[in-house]
Amino acid sequence: MNSKQARRPSNLGPQSIPSLLVISAAFVSGFCIMTIEMLGARIMAPYFGGSLSVWGSILTVFMLALACGYLIGGKLSARQPSLFNYAFFFLAAAALSLPIIFFADEIMRPIFLAIEDPRYGSLLASLFLYFLPTTILGMISPYSVRLLVENSDHSGQKAGLLFFVSTIGSAAGTLGTSFYLVLWFEVNEIVFGTAGALALIGAVLMVAGIRRGQVDGA
Amino acid sequence: MALKLRSVVFFIGLLTCSVLAAETLHEERSLYRDITVTQEGDRRCLVFNVHRGDRNQTCMNTVSPERLVFEYAKMTFAGLLLNPNPQKILIAGLGGGSLPSTLAKLYPDAEIDVVEIDQAVVNVAKQYFSFEETENVKVTVNDARVFVKRASLLDQRYDFVILDAFTGDYIPEHLLTEEFLEEVRAIMSPDGVLVANTFSTSRFYDHESVTYQKVFGEFFNFKLPSSGNRIIIARDAPLPPRGELAGVARSLAPSVEKFGVPLLEYPSRLSTRVDWDMSRRALTDQYSPSNLLRDN
């Protein structure tokens, strides 16, 4: 595709990326996005209530974050795409989800004190709590496409497959969280589980990347 | 054949009756629900989500509007037995406004704050249920959780707090958690009383009871055979002996009689008996699937 690709001919050969791994990873990221989004309202209700505008804030921030993530992820995928980078996204998303567990009150309390209108309070709080992890999760989508695409003839088909899988993951995350997970676990336990799943996928991808000698500079 | 015909006629008659009986005065889809105002004879009712078969939210007798129609609304006044002279009152959930209107008449000098999430409900209460905002009765359109948190920042203290924010089919889950009740407790004056209007569905009942008990300790559980509602009456201080309540009831009963509240019957109905499964988990901000628990 470009000169950088040409310098690394073995980088993304047809056999080099196990598509099942990428597809599973896309499913998990889709699942986790919606799990966090569903819990978002629950996490913010103690400070900003359960009004429609709180949902509005959450959805807005998630959409903006995903938009940014798609752009950045797409851009990064054009530069030496590797399983290592891909794995790093998952690990980063896991790490950036942790403040939702450990600093939610510290983040929301000052915002609640400073801003009286729960609409803008919840918007700002959503931004601080969810923007970064969701942006990273958004980066995964275009990057997954790049890892799976072997030639331009099939690019649309692969992209379609990935969107399908990650959106099914999102549907499962939404339903699973709102119907069952909140009945079985505490909110923080579910966020922990989400971060754990992302970290696990990241670790698996990392191992797969190392096995294929794709670690940058290796 | 004759039987069939008769049943058809009966059925048509029934249809006509129900159409004639409940005239719809107003219909509106608000941000949160479908609101319908119906009039049936002397009775005007506010109905939420009528298509899902909800029960009436509030009803008013248009001929004698002073008299409370619903049992649960009357039962709320049992809370006054623990604090017969509240000066500052908070009501979460306006409905048709029958509670603030009645309390304003009963305590003309008391400061009454109402917090209601839905502006449309406020408009309907004013237009169809003769609810009025006055110098002493103020409505804030906000989420009750947010209102209570702000009130506590402003060091407000209430002598009488009424939680009436549950509709027939939906529980705002963040208004039934240990943390929320702690926040409510923080804005109650030392002899302040909390009255929560809720319902008595089995598994949910257990969780709700355990949660209240965790925050307030022993509380009065108030149920009547004539009503599917359950009223929880709690306060920070230990509960008064029942004999004391009977005395208060005797002195307060004449002033609430015109609202149709049979206060004298209430003291013997207030129970502290634990009739729930104490091993159930308390509801918290971390664990509050109230609506799921209710359906299970």
Cβ separation B286–A187 shorter than 8 A: yes
> Is residue A17, in this structure, part of any structural domain at all?
no
Enter the DSSP assignment of B68. Answer: B
> Is residue A6, in this structure, part of any structural domain at all?
no
Number of domains, chain A: 1
Q: Average of pLDDT values for B97-101?
A: 94
Cβ separation B146–A49 shorter than 8 A: yes
Q: In angstroms, what CA-CA distances link B111 with A27, A212, B160, B235?
A: 55, 73, 11, 20
Gap from B95 CA to chain A (nearest CA, Å): 17
Residue A195: give its domain's CATH number.
1.20.1250
Cβ separation B146–A48 shorter than 8 A: yes
**Chain A within 8 Å of B167 (Cβ-Cβ)?**
no
User: Which of A186, A189, A191 is the best residue to mutate to test the B interface, defined by the most B CB atoms within 10 Å of its own CB?
Assistant: A186
Gap from B141 CA to chain A (nearest CA, Å): 11
Cβ separation B293–A179 shorter than 8 A: no
Euclidean distance between CA atoms A132 and A109, whole angstroms: 19
Asked if residue B1 has pLDDT above 70, the reply is no
Euclidean distance between CA atoms A149 and A12, whole angstroms: 9
Residues of the domain holding A133: 28-211
> Is residue A39, in this structure, part of any structural domain at all?
yes
Per-residue pLDDT of chain A in tens (218 residues, 90 and over written 9): 444 444 444 445 444 678 899 999 999 999 999 999 999 999 999 999 998 999 999 999 999 999 999 999 999 999 989 999 999 999 999 999 999 999 999 999 999 999 999 999 999 999 999 999 999 999 999 999 999 988 888 899 999 999 999 999 999 999 999 999 999 999 999 999 999 999 999 999 999 988 887 444 43
Residue in B143, B164, B275, B295 annotated catalytic: B164
**Residue B10, number of CB atoms within 10 A of its CB:** 10
Closest Cα partner for B30 from B140, B146, B144, B117?
B117
- Window 105-164 of B: residues touching A by CB (8 A cutoff) are 117, 142-146, 149-150, 153
Euclidean distance between CA atoms B290 and B256, whole angstroms: 34
pTM above 0.90, yes or no: no
Asked if residue B173 has pLDDT above 70, the reply is yes
Cβ separation B150–A48 shorter than 8 A: no
Using CB atoms, which residue from A46, A113, A116 is nearest to B285?
Answer: A46
Instruction: Give the amino acid at B147.
Output: F
Partnered with residue B23 across adjacent β-strands are B39
Q: What is the pLDDT of residue A214?
A: 47
Q: Average of pLDDT values for B140-150?
A: 96
Using CB atoms, which residue from A46, A179, A185 is nearest to B174?
Answer: A46
**Chain A within 8 Å of B287 (Cβ-Cβ)?**
yes
The pLDDT confidence band at residue B3, using thresholds 50, 70 and 90, is low
User: Which of B29, B179, B287 is the best residue to mutate to test the A interface, defined by the most A CB atoms within 10 Å of its own CB?
Assistant: B287
- Give the model confidence (pLDDT) of B121-130 as tens digits: 999 999 999 9
Closest Cα partner for B183 from B208, B166, B158, B207?
B158
Euclidean distance between CA atoms B90 and A159, whole angstroms: 56
- Window 5-34 of A: residues touching B by CB (8 A cutoff) are none
Q: Return the residue of A nearest to B141 by Cα.
A: A51
Q: What is the pLDDT of residue B167?
A: 75
Q: What is the pLDDT of residue A7?
A: 42
Residues 6+ away with beta carbon under 8 Å from A61? A123, A126, A127, A130, A131, A134
The pLDDT confidence band at residue B210, using thresholds 50, 70 and 90, is very high
Do residues B284 and B177 make contact, with C-beta atoms less than 8 angstroms apart? yes
User: Which of A38, A39, A42 is the best residue to mutate to test the B interface, defined by the most B CB atoms within 10 Å of its own CB?
Assistant: A42
Ordered by start, the domain boundaries in chain B are: 71-295
Q: What is the pLDDT of residue B48?
A: 86
Percent of chain B with pLDDT over 90: 70
Is B169 noted as a catalytic residue in this protein? no
Cβ separation B142–A183 shorter than 8 A: no
- Show the tokens assigned to B247: 């005395």
Cβ separation B285–A113 shorter than 8 A: no
Q: In angstroms, what CA-CA distances link A38 with A62, B113, B175, B291?
A: 11, 32, 18, 15
Gap from B287 CA to chain A (nearest CA, Å): 5
**Chain A within 8 Å of B1 (Cβ-Cβ)?**
no
- Show the tokens assigned to B128: 């169809």
Using CB atoms, which residue from A46, A113, A118 is nearest to B179?
Answer: A46
Cβ separation A113–B142 shorter than 8 A: no
Mean pLDDT (chain B, rounded) = 89
Q: In what order do the strands lie in the sheet with B229-235?
A: B137-141, B111-116, B88-92, B158-163, B188-199, B229-235, B220-223, B270-271
Q: Average of pLDDT values for B238-245?
A: 91
* Ordered alpha helix ranges (H), chain B: 2-21, 71-76, 98-106, 119-128, 144-153, 178-186, 202-216, 242-257, 290-295
- Show the tokens assigned to A1: 């595709």
Q: Is the ipTM of this complex over 0.90?
A: no
What's the CATH architecture for B71-295? 3-Layer(aba) Sandwich (3.40)
Euclidean distance between CA atoms B210 and B229, whole angstroms: 18
